[in-house]
Chain A
Amino acid sequence: MNIIALFVSPLIALIAGMFFLGLSRKISARIQWRYGPPIYQPVIDVIRSFSQKSITHGKFFDFGIILSLSSSFVLILFLPIGKLCALTSGGLIAFLYLMLMGPFGIALSGAAAANPNSSIGISRKFLLALAYEVPLLLVLLTVMTHYHTISLVEIVNIQANSGWAFGSWALILPGIAYLLILPAILGMRPFEVVGAAQEISSGPIAEFGGKHLAFYTLQHALHVFVGIALFVDIFLGGWTFFGLLNPLAGTVWAVIFGIIIFLLKMTLVLFIGLFVNAVYPRFRIEQAMQYLWKWPTLISFVGLIIVVLTK
């Protein structure tokens, strides 16, 4: 099972991530009363980028983006996709740290380019990350304390027995807080301060072209996938769906349908994010930080206190 997951889960994540990128463009277009690009447009973009002759600002410029993409793939191995989970060592803490490595690689690469816009973008990225990590850490700690485990797989399995975390009274507040910071994690509006195309010419990736851009697009697709998948795993019970898969338990079909249910849940969450993304303007970075340190933090903090007191 683990061996299969090792090969299958990166593929699923990549395909689903690219599909989500395409879907988000299509949905945004439809909300804006446009026809929109075909849903496989991101794939065309990646192929186009690969066929172009990029520039490089030295070996480290290349190293950063390779590090970013490969660590994003490693991250996928730690994520339970349906019932597939290739690696479990280290649990959610290792997962959190690996989540850091993707943006970190891009930051190294972007800074090696010596572009002023990149530097501004990276500084915004880290500030935004600090802003949303505060509520995110509180949320994850609440979940880990409530279930008394640091393993993602176990969190999903407990929910299979006792119902979704989002539906339980103890974890509803952290769930709401996660939903509030989800656009910031995905870099969507109103938190699109990092790659602000109009003012800092797409920020950290201002100097990325050709294969560097292709790698970045793949990394971005995986990042979107991970941000949503983490929510689904922790709060919406991963592959579980009200005992629907119980008759199939133990068969291959359970795994396959588990993945399908998982992806459907992810699509649902993505839609919520897209509706916000399509209609909101952008925060300034200070406003974003103040917002993230106010409401989501407060909600998740109250959630943590409730969980600690009732334990």
Chain B
Amino acid sequence: MDRNQIGKWLKNPGKMANKYSFHVVYFCTGCGIIEVPPSITTRWDAERFGIIPVATPRQANLFLITGYVSTKTLAAIIRTYEQMPEPKYTVAFGSCPINGGMYYDSYNTITSLDKYIPVDGYIAGCMPRPEAIFIGVTHLWKLIDMDKADGYKRYREDYVHYRANQEQILGELDWPPLFSKENL
């Protein structure tokens, strides 16, 4: 952990603070959420890395999607993701958001989350244990250090593409586009 290196803080305080203050929106879909309570409470204590759950996406910078995503949930996920302030990171948890997992042929479950919102990292497994969350977080730190956790930038650049994908599966969306021509 480079949390205590003053030089890095002075060089880029925003990036360092983003690394060590993950305020997380847990999207409690599917079975993955059962791994989260132990990870934030006494046994594994995520708070020592500055990771705490928050109640609203406005205050968060990490979006943790824990498990399969049904098409109905997808609308809520997109809405929540769009409400998070930039910079924001998404981590998908378990194998279902990667390729559908055991729901690969389900009629109402999406198979690849990355088509609809940009995902910065996956934690594979069915289910991954809490330790895997921490390994995932350390990987995310590395990505942030190398400026490779750029999901929110991709979302902005390819918004038309993402929006088209979203509309393809959800039909007409009942909220206006996040990026119009003016604020791109």
Residue contact B13 to A47, C-beta cutoff 8 Å: yes
Q: Does A130 belong to the interface (CB within 8 Å)?
A: no
Residue contact B20 to A44, C-beta cutoff 8 Å: yes
Q: Does A59 belong to the interface (CB within 8 Å)?
A: no
What chain B residues lie within 8 Å of A53 (beta carbons)? 85-87
Q: Does B135 belong to the interface (CB within 8 Å)?
A: no
Residue contact A48 to B18, C-beta cutoff 8 Å: yes
Binding stretch for chain A, among B29-37, B40-48, B102-110, B119-127: B40-48
Set B18, B45, B55: member contacting A34, Cβ < 8 A: B45
In the assembled complex, the Cα of A37 lies from the Cα of B49 at a distance in Å of 6
Residue contact A48 to B45, C-beta cutoff 8 Å: no
In the assembled complex, the Cα of A209 lies from the Cα of B86 at a distance in Å of 10
What chain A residues lie within 8 Å of B23 (beta carbons)? 45, 48
Instruction: Output the nearest chain B residue to A37 by Cβ-Cβ distance.
Output: B47
Q: Does A62 belong to the interface (CB within 8 Å)?
A: no
Band of interface residues on A: 20 to 34
Instruction: List residues of A (13-69) whose CB comes within 8 Å of B's CBs.
Output: 25, 29, 32-38, 41, 44-45, 47-55
What chain A residues lie within 8 Å of B111 (beta carbons)? none
A133 → B minimal CB distance (Å): 27
In the assembled complex, the Cα of A33 lies from the Cα of B54 at a distance in Å of 21
Residue contact A206 to B56, C-beta cutoff 8 Å: yes
Instruction: List residues of B (1-27) whose CB comes within 8 Å of A's CBs.
Output: 3, 13-18, 20-21, 23
A44-B50, A53-B86 given; A34·B42 CB < 8 A: yes
Residue contact B56 to A207, C-beta cutoff 8 Å: yes
Instruction: Output the nearest chain B residue to A117 by Cβ-Cβ distance.
Output: B56
A140 → B minimal CB distance (Å): 34
In the assembled complex, the Cα of A41 lies from the Cα of B46 at a distance in Å of 13
A193 → B minimal CB distance (Å): 14
Set B16, B17, B59: member contacting A209, Cβ < 8 A: B59
B171 → A minimal CB distance (Å): 26
B19 → A minimal CB distance (Å): 9
Which among B14, B16, B20 has the highest number of chain A CB atoms within 10 Å? B20
Q: Does B61 belong to the interface (CB within 8 Å)?
A: yes
Interface, chain B (partner A; CB < 8 A): 3, 13-18, 20-21, 23, 41-42, 45, 47-50, 54-59, 61, 83-87
Pick the 9 closest A-B CB pairs, nearest first.
A51-B14, A209-B58, A201-B55, A47-B17, A48-B17, A197-B55, A48-B21, A34-B45, A52-B85
**27 A–B contacts, CB within 8 A, in A order:** A29-B45, A32-B41, A33-B42, A34-B47, A34-B48, A44-B20, A44-B50, A45-B17, A45-B23, A45-B50, A47-B16, A48-B14, A52-B18, A52-B61, A52-B86, A53-B85, A53-B86, A197-B54, A197-B55, A201-B55, A202-B59, A205-B59, A207-B56, A207-B58, A209-B56, A209-B57, A209-B59
